[in-house]
Structure 1
Amino acid sequence: MAQSSSPVSGVADRYAQSLFELALDENSLGTVEPELDSFDRLIKESADFRRLVESPAFSSDEQLRAIEAIVAETKPDPLTGNFLKVVAANRRLFVLPGMIRRFRELAAEHRGEVEVDVTSAHPLDDGQRSALSEALSSYAGKSVTMREKVDPAILGGLIVKIGSRQIDTSLRSKLNSLKLALKEVG
């Protein structure tokens, strides 16, 4: 995988790689990954937690105390809890979403999976999900883990991201293309 030139993504990669190797050594990938997913959801759903993670206004001590309190309350695996405390103590909480994303990629790669982001106008039913998963597995040559997102603004169709490739069959994109073509004619 190509290394990014961004210092932030480099930090996220190093922390995620270290956590992944430790989780692999301790045979706790199956525990650490869902716990990180929970923290990722917390970042997305809680404005207060997101502010703690993203804001440079909080000191390292304040961030560490907050993370220690959350860890004490949620009681994650010691590896996950210690990782979060180290990240806070080193003032790297702002990179936590990137660390979690990279950890997921490493874990999926280890399992021989590829992660796919699927955006649809409406929630997929089980039959659609199964058919899409099968088609994407065939396309990628690996089993896929789909992360689904609903965005009514695409009107219909799908937007699928596999690694650096994006396949956009959304109605919104088709209408925009038609609009451009009509402008050129008229």
Structure 2
Amino acid sequence: MSIYTVASRYAKSLLGLSQEQGNVDAVKADIEQIIAVIQANSQLQTVLKNPIISADKKYAILTALFDGKVNPLILSFFSILVKKGRGDLLLDIAQEFIREYNEAKGIVKATVVSATALSENNLNNLASKIANEINAQVVLTNTVDPSLIGGFVVRIGDRQVDASIAGKLNKLEKFFVNQGV
């Protein structure tokens, strides 16, 4: 079974449990915190992936890190994960949980790459226009790539809209090459 399939099943289970208990938003906030901690700590990632370290030891480490800081449901979930030998997939499962949560709430993540940083007003206007186009709530992040020269590139899932000067110049170059000019 692929990592994605396993992560998706566990994430859906956690999402379903948190929905039943009526604390989905709190669990999501805790999961975001857990993702940040795991990504920032390579030693924790190594411990979780090490098959030699016992499940009890892994759970004790997770409990020491997160007890009293996250919803008890999450700690119970950790217990199940490590006992089933899936501690190595904790980060993947947490990230999949966020994706599942966003899908359930109709939230779409998008990225806009621009030659210079966009103002908060421009980001909000662009997010609003994208939201109207795709009929979903949009969380837009901005990254800067000076090689675009001007304009921007918007990525939503597997779709991309290139409205950059560099992109237009590349299209123009390909046109001339195909025309034999």
TM-score (norm 2): 0.78
Answer yes or no: is 1:88 the counterpart of 2:82.
yes
User: Which of the numbers 65, 70, 73 marks the counterpart of 1:79?
Assistant: 73
Identity across aligned pairs (percent)? 25
Residues 52, 63 of structure 1: 8 Å contact kept: yes
1:11 positional shift: 0.4
**1:122–1:103 Cα change, 3 Å:** farther
Deviation per residue, 1:30-58 (Å, 9 max, x gap) = 10001111111122222323333445564
2:98 is matched with which residue?
A: 104
**Could you say what secondary structure the match of 1:108 adopts?**
helix
**Could you say what secondary structure the match of 1:132 adopts?**
helix
Answer yes or no: is 1:66 the counterpart of 2:58.
no
**Could you say what secondary structure the match of 1:75 adopts?**
coil
Q: What is the RMSD of the two structures over their aligned residues, measured on CA atoms?
A: 3.0
AA aligned opposite 2:102: A
1:77 positional shift: 0.8
AA aligned opposite 2:63: E
Deviation per residue, 1:53-104 (Å, 9 max, x gap) = 44556443332221121122x5211112222232233232332333223222
**1:142–1:67 Cα change, 3 Å:** same
- Stretches of structure 1 that go unaligned for 5 or more consecutive residues are 1-5
**Could you say what secondary structure the match of 1:167 adopts?**
strand
User: Which of the numbers 28, 31, 35 marks the counterpart of 2:30?
Assistant: 35
TM-score (norm 1): 0.76
1:18 positional shift: 0.3
Q: Measure, in 1, the Cα distance between the counterparts of 2:170 and 2:77.
A: 45
User: Which of the numbers 135, 143, 155 marks the counterpart of 1:150?
Assistant: 143
1:160 is matched with which residue?
A: 154
User: Which of the numbers 6, 14, 17 marks the counterpart of 1:11?
Assistant: 6
1:180 positional shift: 6.3
Q: Measure, in 1, the Cα distance between the counterparts of 2:144 and 2:82.
A: 33
1:3 is matched with which residue?
A: none
Aligned residue pair count: 179
**1:139–1:57 Cα change, 3 Å:** farther
1:171 positional shift: 5.5
Q: Measure, in 1, the Cα distance between the counterparts of 2:144 and 2:52.
A: 33
Q: Which has the larger radius of gyration?
A: 2
